[in-house]
Amino acid sequence: MSELEKNYNITNEGEIYKKWEESGFFNPDNSQAKKVFSVLMPPPNVTGILHLGHAMENSLMDIEARFHRMKGEKTLFLPGVDHAAVATQAKVEAELMKQGIKNPRAELGREGLLAKIREYAETSKATIIRQIKRLGSSCDWSRLAYTFDEKRSAIVFELFKKMYEDQLIYRGYRTVNWSVKGQSTLSDDELEYIEEESTLYALKYSADFPIAISTTRPETKLGDTAVAVNPDDERYQKYIGQTFTVDLGLDKPLTIKVIGESEVDMNFGTGAVGVTPAHSQTDFAWYQKNKEIGLIAVIGKDGKMTDNAGKYAGQTVEECRQNFVAFLKDKNLLLNEEKLNHNVAISDRFRDEIEVLPMEQWFINVNLPIPGKNKSLKELMREAVTVGLNNNKNKKVNIVPERFTEAYLKWIDNLRDWCISRQIWWGHRIPIWYKGNEQMVSEENPGEGWEQDPDTLDTWFSSRLDIQHASRRRSKNLSSRYLDADGL
Amino acid sequence: MGYEILFFWLARMILMTAYYLDEIPFKNVYIHGILRDKDGRKFSKSLGNGIDPIVMSEKYGADALRLALLANVTPGNDACFYEEKVEHYRNFINKLWNISRFILGKEGKLKIVDQKPQPKTMADQWLLGRLAETTNVVTEALENYKFSQAIDTLYDFTWNDFADWYLEIAKVEGKKEEILHYVLPMVLKLWQPFAPFVTQTIWEQAGAEDLLMVSSWPIIKDVKDKEASEFIASLQQVITALRTYRADNKIPPTEIFNCYFKAKNFVDEFADYLPVIEKLARVKLVDQEISGGSTLAFDGGILQVEQQVKKISPTEIADLQKYIVSLEAKLNDESFMSKAPEAVKEKERAKLVAAQEKLATLEK
């Protein structure tokens, strides 16, 4: 033996990692210990390279894994990678556009574009795994869960089928978030909010309409079917329940009913808001309680005004806004304009402003009692962090730090039915097949004449269970043991 | 997970497993904040303030990056991250390496002592107590996801207690092989989860054949010794006061000055440690009052120190100035600069900085 080298040489770190990996100790199956510790890596997206946040997260998970392994526990640090449907497709399409392919979907077709995305995803996946290794994470790579591999696809199908049969998944006509640029629905989770200066307009539908309303989107007023006021608002109480007919210069006059909604802020603007069921999630919820008011879509998937907008049809929302405000001014119906900073929702991946549109899509019903459970999904999500699943204390999820539990519960309260169908192509295809008026759920083509739903599933739908599945697939007996895990 | 994705991932993970498997997906969810730059801004493409973790790990090593990423991270709160932080922990990794290199000595082999050795001196007793305390704090912190506390505690023990104090005392006391070969493996084990690469490298180069990652985590019954820790605290106080005095009076580090402790009980209390005080504070303890010296008081019952301050001679300043000029000339010499290896140039630059600093102090 001789003296330690003069300086620590970081260039040997790759060699050391290899030694660890080859030793087999990253795999808990090689440990005889009884006590189990496992930690699940929230799978990074295959959209490029590891960022600082990933590096931090991986470091802290690895510290826990190494600590528990040294304490003699059967330790699993379970790695995963997410195919990240919208994020990945948006990224590849943007790259292709930079290379001069103006409309990748039209020019390459479904298979052609998917091939490009697959190629990119595979490269990213390899890069990300190499980078995770570079930081020393002691993951069991034999259990790597890629949300788009065969095993994960099989479980996505099983889950979809069960939810479909339990009627938790349904086809419905509801308002969704729509990215014009991405030509797809997006879930609330795929939005980002940016503060923008806009104008708050106070206007009246007609000279003899008794209530003025406030809005930042006057063009959507062409699709209004009601006015909502606070039932406690003495100014407007007397009008609740009355219906008015107003002429905004469209092909048909609008019928506006005054409804009482306690959510309306009496002190904001005029204290009354026009209800546009087709283009606002809140208004849609009010519409569901007051179906008689009806729903008129005035904006289309292309971000332009529809035929319902009469003379404005074909105009972009901005053009229509300008023209309609001019019309209101001309008719003396515009009462006030003031500047206001407010949050605008944009697509976190396609980066365009979101339009709320009513559409036929696939949804998960979060309020329906689950057959055999007599509880809704919302109740399950609430129960798991409060009293424990099925009132079992041992099945309670602890959130560290605790203060986040409250925020989580509030989020659950506000959760709407979750739109799971996307019009992008990178993802698990919806396993629903159609033939004439028939419809069935199937993993494979059920036979001649059947056509599959063209949409794909929200990536969040598929990135949930795969991890549980990864633990289960080894051996049925191990499943419950590895479920005894920490998520970091 | 980061709180910004808390609800996406957590809620749906619970939804799916609860519905499909009648299970919860995990028992504990640790929520971390996000990293921000020096100015508290988020890292983003548009701000151009991004730092590539892989570039950092290639430059400073993965261990330094891991430590820099997690130092100051507490559950649910944001933390700052910047390159100097990685550099700072790279210096620590080097320190850990140098400590090990010193302990392993010429032979470079670790003779692991498994059983807690019998302490022979107060310093031994103190160190073993601090090791036990540190081990317990780190263990508890990791059980509760307190990463920052774990790192800070271990860092402080390793650099401050072990390297700066104990190893220096050990050089005076001598015959520390057993203790050092007991404590070093413990330190390496405690660091392994945080800095797996450097600890494994030391372990391996020191002759161990098994992997450190599957060695057992230290469990030490609390042996914190009140008497020893109070004693060492007093000793540190004396030495620190003398060092501060030296710095305040601009006494050059090489200068050994005389010291006289007025308090009678002092010499009895520190009887065994007088050579340690002399060596670590670079003083000579004399047994007679020094006329013309100044008085230094500090608490803890050890009241006074007197010493003679050497006046700085004008020639000393002049010599230093000449030295600086010569160093500057060398660093401006093109033939030297083009031929000399980077390490040599680095050394010369360091000399210049040190000389300039010293001059500034003298001239104050």
From the CB of residue A193, how many other CB atoms can be counted at a distance below 10 Å?
12
Selection from B152-161, B201-210, B321-330, B340-349 with the highest mean pLDDT: B152-161
Closest listed residue to residue B79, CA positions, set A253, A55, A423, A209: A55
pLDDT at B22: 87
The 3-class SS string of B25-76 reads CCCEEECECCEECCCCCECCCCCCCCCCHHHHHHHHCHHHHHHHHHCCCCCC
**Residue A474, pLDDT score:** 32
Report CA dihedral (A258, A259, A261, A267) to the nearest 10 degrees: 10
Q: Are B276 and B169 in contact (CB under 8 A)?
A: yes
Are residues A275 and A226 in contact, defined by beta-carbon separation less than 8 angstroms? yes
SS3 B163: helix
Give contacts of A8 with chain B, Cβ < 8 Å.
61, 93-94, 97, 198, 201
**Cβ-nearest to B205 among A4, A395, A465:** A4
CA dist B187 and B155 (Å) reads 10
The shortest C-alpha distance from B119 to chain A (Å) reads 27
The predicted pLDDT at position A484 comes to 39
Distance CA A295, CA A287 (A): 8
Q: Residue A244's pLDDT is what? A: 95
Identify whether the C-beta of residue A416 lies closer than 8 Å to the C-beta of residue A409: no
User: Mind listing the pLDDT tens digit for each residue in A286-302?
Assistant: 999 999 999 999 999 99
pLDDT tens for each residue of A149-171: 888 888 889 999 999 999 999 99
Of B31, B50, B194, the CB nearest to A399: B31
Pairing of strands B28-30, A398-400: parallel
Write out the two tokens for A471.
């633990």
B129 pLDDT band (50/70/90 cuts)?
very high
The position carrying tokens 């204290």 is A271
Of A23, A72, A397, the CB nearest to B27: A397
The answer, yes or no, to whether residue B287 has pLDDT greater than 50, is yes
Question: Residue B67: which residues within 8 A CB-CB, separation 6 or more?
Answer: B89, B92, B93, B151, B194, B195
CA distance to partner chain B, nearest, from residue A36 (Å): 12
CB contact under 8 A, A70 and B193: yes
Q: How far is A399 from chain B (nearest CA, A)?
A: 5
Q: Tell me, yes or no, if B20 comes closer than 8 A to chain A by beta carbon.
A: yes
The CA-atom distances, in angstroms, between A1 and each of A4, A154, B106, B136 are 9, 55, 9, 34
* pLDDT at res. B157: 98
Start-to-end Cα distance in chain A: 42
Report the chain B residue with the minimal C-alpha distance to residue A135. B62
Q: Looking at beta carbons, which pairs linking B338-347 to residues 24 or more positions away fall under 8 Å?
A: none
Asked if A125 and A84 count as a contact pair (C-beta separation under 8 A), the reply is: no
Give me the pLDDT at residue A465, please.
55
Contacts of B93 in chain A (CB under 8 A): 8
Tokens read off for B251 = 């006494």
**In which band, very low, low, confident or very high, does the pLDDT at B264 lie, cut at 50, 70 and 90?**
low
Minimal Cα–Cα distance from A455 to chain B, Å?
Answer: 21
Q: CA dist A328 to A95, A183, A207, Å?
A: 43, 32, 10
Q: Predicted confidence band at B338 (pLDDT cuts at 50, 70, 90)?
A: confident
pLDDT confidence of residue B295: 64
Contacts (Cβ under 8 Å, ≥6 apart) of B11? A381, A408, A411, A412, A415
- Residue B61: list chain A partners with CB under 8 A: 8, 10, 13
> What confidence score (pLDDT) does residue B312 get?
55
pTM of the model: 0.84
| Interchain CB distance below 8 Å, B29 and A395 | no
Assess contact for A414 and A281: CB atoms under 8 A: no
Chain centroid to CA A172: 17
To the nearest whole Å, the CA of A39 is away from the closest chain B CA by 8
Mean pLDDT of B295-303: 52
With CA atoms as reference, the chain B residue closest to A3 would be: B108
Q: B67: burial class by Cβ within 10 Å (0-12, 13-18, 19+)?
A: buried
More confident residue, B121 or B340: B121
B212-253 pLDDT, tens digit per residue, is 999 999 998 866 678 999 899 988 988 988 888 888 778 888
Given pLDDT bands bounded at 50, 70 and 90, which one contains residue A485? very low
Contacts by residues A431-439 (CB-CB < 8 Å, ≥ 24 positions apart): A431/A157, A431/A160, A431/A161, A432/A164, A432/A362
- pLDDT value at residue B5: 60
Mean pLDDT of A120-125: 95
Q: Which has more pLDDT, A335 or B108?
A: A335
Encoded tokens for B15 = 């939804």
Distance CA B169, CA B175 (A): 11
| Alpha-carbon gap, residue B350 to B84, rounded angstroms | 19
In B126-185, the residues whose Cβ lies within 8 Å of chain A are 142, 144-145, 147
A41-76 residue pLDDT tens: 888 889 888 889 899 999 999 999 999 999 999 999
pLDDT digits (tens, 9 = 90+) for B265-275: 677 778 889 89
Flag whether residue B119 sits within 8 Å of chain A, measured between CB atoms.
no
Whether A435 and A406 have beta carbons less than 8 Å apart is answered as: no
Task: Compute the average pLDDT of residues B178-200.
Answer: 97
Q: Which residues contact B301 (CB under 8 A, 6 or more apart)?
A: B263, B265
Distance between start and end Cα atoms, chain B: 53
In this structure, what DSSP letter does residue B252 have? -
Side-chain half-sphere CA neighbours of A371 within 13 A: 8
Count CB atoms within 10 A of the CB of residue A65. 29
CA of A424 vs chain B CAs: smallest distance (Å): 20
- Region of poorest pLDDT, from A395-399, B60-64, B138-142: A395-399
The whole-number average pLDDT for the span B292-297 is 62
pLDDT in tens, A433-463: 999 999 999 999 999 999 999 999 998 777 5
Per-residue pLDDT of A382-433, as tens digits, reads 999 999 999 999 899 988 888 889 888 988 888 889 999 999 999 999 999 9
What percentage of residues in chain B have a pLDDT greater than 70? 89
Contacts of B94 in chain A (CB under 8 A): 7-8
Cα(B322)–Cα(B315) distance, integer angstroms: 10
Task: State chain B's mean pLDDT as an integer.
Answer: 86
